[in-house]
Structure 1
């Protein structure tokens, strides 16, 4: 499989999925005009990677500063697939990065964390930029 690298835009986040290491990184803002079109291919690739590499650990780093409701749904769909993989024995870690003074992103992370039982969901606070 070929790695996925999508550069950020005004409306969509950076997406960097290194299949060899099993590491997916998403960061920035996400409010694309068509979330399904943006996230659909990524979700398809993640599912394919999980099937083709059933024992490889997965690490996901999410550092969003803003996302709309359709992006939240897409993230939830991604997290559901990862949770299912973890429930089948695959090591899965999701690192939710947020700035300590961003209560909204912290609360979103806490809400997402509630849906994880098999995968590890880590809250990763960072100090605001000077």
Structure 2
């Protein structure tokens, strides 16, 4: 399984995957022109990982801002994680945020409300 390394830009986050360790790392802002196109490789990677691997999957997020279409893509990914969790897979989200950025904490809380898997919101100074 091929891992992804998509470099960050001003409007898109860094995305790195590590199938061997079962980790997806994302950091930065997310307001690409076409979120569904930008995230298509990541969505395909998550789908393939969940089908082919039995190891846990952890998302390590340090997302600062998401536009509406990026939020929709993240909801789709979290829905897939929720399905995997109900099927017995161990999945975790660790969403790191700056304590001064309450908006991100509120967004993470909204996502967490819809998830029954481990979803940790971690404030940092």
TM-score higher than 0.5: yes
| 2:84 is the counterpart of 1:85 | yes
Structure 2: gaps of 5 or more residues: none
| 2:4 is the counterpart of 1:4 | yes
Q: Could you tell me the TM-score, scaled by structure 2's length?
A: 0.97
Residues 77-108 of structure 1: per-residue CA shift (max 9 Å, x gap): 11111111111111111001111111100000
Q: 2:124 aligns with which of 117, 120, 126?
A: 126
Residue 56 (structure 1) shift: 0.7
Residue 40 (structure 1) shift: 1.5
Residues 37-67 of structure 1: per-residue CA shift (max 9 Å, x gap): 11112101110111011x2101101111111
Quote the Cα distance in structure 2 between the aligned partners of 1:27 and 1:104.
16
Quote the RMSD (CA, aligned, Å): 0.7
Residue 20 (structure 1) shift: 0.9
Quote the Cα distance in structure 2 between the aligned partners of 1:76 and 1:62.
14
Runs of 4+ more than 3 Å apart: none
* Secondary structure at the counterpart of residue 39 of structure 2: helix
* Secondary structure at the counterpart of residue 100 of structure 2: coil
